[in-house]
Amino acid sequence: MKIKEILNRYWAIIFVAIPIILQMIFFYFPMVQGAFYSLTNWTGLTYNFDFVGLNNYKILFSDPKFIKSIGFTLIVTLCMIAGQIGFGILIARALNANIKGKTFFRAWFFFPAVLSGVVVSLVFKQIFNYGLPKIGSMLGIEFLQTSLLGTTWGAIFAVIFVLLWQGIAMPVIIFLAGFQSIPQEIIEAARMDGANDKQIFWNIEITYLLPSISMVFIMALKGGLTAFDQIFALTGGGPSDATTSLGLLVYNYAFKNNQLLRTAVIGRNVRRIGKQAFYNCKNLRTITIRTSMLTKKNVGAKAFKGTYKKVKVKVPAKQFKTYKKFLKSKGMGAKAIYKNTLIK
């Protein structure tokens, strides 16, 4: 059977199978793999790991920063869902009315969606830090004289306001399309039967908007749970981690100072360690170096600067003296404990 005949005969199956296969490879497989690695002590640097059960989850849920970030993320998510659905419907209903300049207003409400989230956050950061306090001083309004970003609830309000200001654009377009899809004959018939605007809204318009509401709900849920760039640029998670979302917490732990890194194994095939590779890893307690190919030239400056003072360093027996000497020049603490190990 020729390829063309196979395509003609099974095109529907192939059409569906390709996206399913891609989703399994790039979504479900990494998800299962991540769940498996969460039960191990894998550091992400080597292929060596041991099964530790639920110990990682025990450490995670005993972390007050994690609990605080969950609370903040839930607040943001709920406000995003309620705000985008509530304000989105109200604005879309107003823009669907016969008013002058409605085309201009429709374009204006969509304008925030084309802007960068980081740029928007940086602009509002200047407004909250300098603009509003200046206005508060001029008008004698006491609560405006202090930057919103300097207080816990003020910073939370500022984050939610910025996220909603930029995130409301797409829901407005979706709800506007939903309003325009409602047959006018049904609304006119309802008015002839004596229905007022409130009854038409709750009994007809909301019913037709249910598919749009479900779509906006999913978008807002995803946006709230994955909020990162606006928060990072606006507050950086402060004050006192009050606005640290789950995404920002992962960034702080995984990429900023590697605060959760406790064990590192440098494989036998490693030839180079980059500049500041383990910089400020204060909780790094054990470093196992299996490679014998490291030299002072191919280990970057401050590669081990700021690690745990009494970190245990296991090095190959033949390179014990050499490694101990030049690792100190790369930031390894003077109180580091060195041990001989044989390369297995």
**pTM of the predicted model as reported, rounded to 2 decimal places:** 0.74
Distances from the Cα of 148 to the Cα of 124, 133, 159, angstroms? 11, 9, 10
Round to whole Å and give the CA distance between 87 and 321.
68
The mean per-residue pLDDT over the stretch 288-293 comes to 89
> Scanning the structure block, which residue is given the tokens 């749970």?
225
277 has a pLDDT exceeding 90:
no
Choose among 269, 322, 313, 323: nearest CA to 291: 269
Arithmetic mean of pLDDT over the chain: 88
CA 41 to chain centre: 23
Tokens of 51: 């099964």
DSSP 163-203: HHHHHTHHHHHHHHHHHHTS-HHHHHHHHHTT--HHHHIII
pLDDT of residue 244: 94
Contact 181, 208 (CB under 8 A): yes
Choose among 167, 8, 24: nearest CA to 85: 167
112 has a pLDDT exceeding 70:
yes
Round to whole Å and give the CA distance between 109 and 111.
6
pLDDT tens column, 174-230: 999 999 999 999 999 999 989 998 999 999 999 999 999 999 999 999 999 999 999
Round to whole Å and give the CA distance between 78 and 215.
15
Give the residue with greater pLDDT, 104 vs 123.
123
Sequence letter at residue 52 = V
Round to whole Å and give the CA distance between 77 and 167.
12
- Please give the span between the terminal C-alpha atoms of the chain, in angstroms, as a whole number: 54
31 has a pLDDT exceeding 60:
yes
| Ordered strands of the 337-341 beta sheet | 263-266, 286-289, 312-316, 337-341
pLDDT of residue 344: 47
146 has a pLDDT exceeding 60:
yes
The mean per-residue pLDDT over the stretch 45-65 comes to 84
Q: Looking at the chain, which runs of residues are DSSP E strands? A: 263-266, 286-289, 312-316, 337-341
pLDDT tens column, 260-275: 678 888 888 888 888 8
| Range of lowest pLDDT (29-43, 47-61, 254-268, 286-300) | 254-268
Q: What are phi and psi of 258, to 5 degrees?
A: 45, 55
Choose among 160, 180, 30: nearest CA to 87: 160
Q: Which residues, 6+ apart, have CB-to-CB distance to 71 below 8 Å?
A: none
Contact 303, 328 (CB under 8 A): no
Round to whole Å and give the CA distance between 68 and 229.
19
Contact 187, 204 (CB under 8 A): yes
157 has a pLDDT exceeding 90:
yes
> Scanning the structure block, which residue is given the tokens 């003072």?
309
Length, in residues, of the chain: 344
* Confidence tier at 24 by pLDDT (50, 70, 90): very high
3-state secondary structure of 340: strand
69 has a pLDDT exceeding 70:
yes
Q: Which residues, 6+ apart, have CB-to-CB distance to 324 below 8 Å?
A: 313, 315, 338
The mean per-residue pLDDT over the stretch 84-90 comes to 95
pLDDT tens column, 218-274: 999 999 999 999 999 999 998 989 999 999 998 887 766 566 678 888 888 888 888
Contact 264, 278 (CB under 8 A): yes
Contact 343, 290 (CB under 8 A): yes
The mean per-residue pLDDT over the stretch 271-296 comes to 86
The mean per-residue pLDDT over the stretch 316-337 comes to 87
| Range of lowest pLDDT (51-60, 104-113, 128-137) | 104-113
pLDDT of residue 45: 61
312 has a pLDDT exceeding 80:
yes
Round to whole Å and give the CA distance between 184 and 207.
14
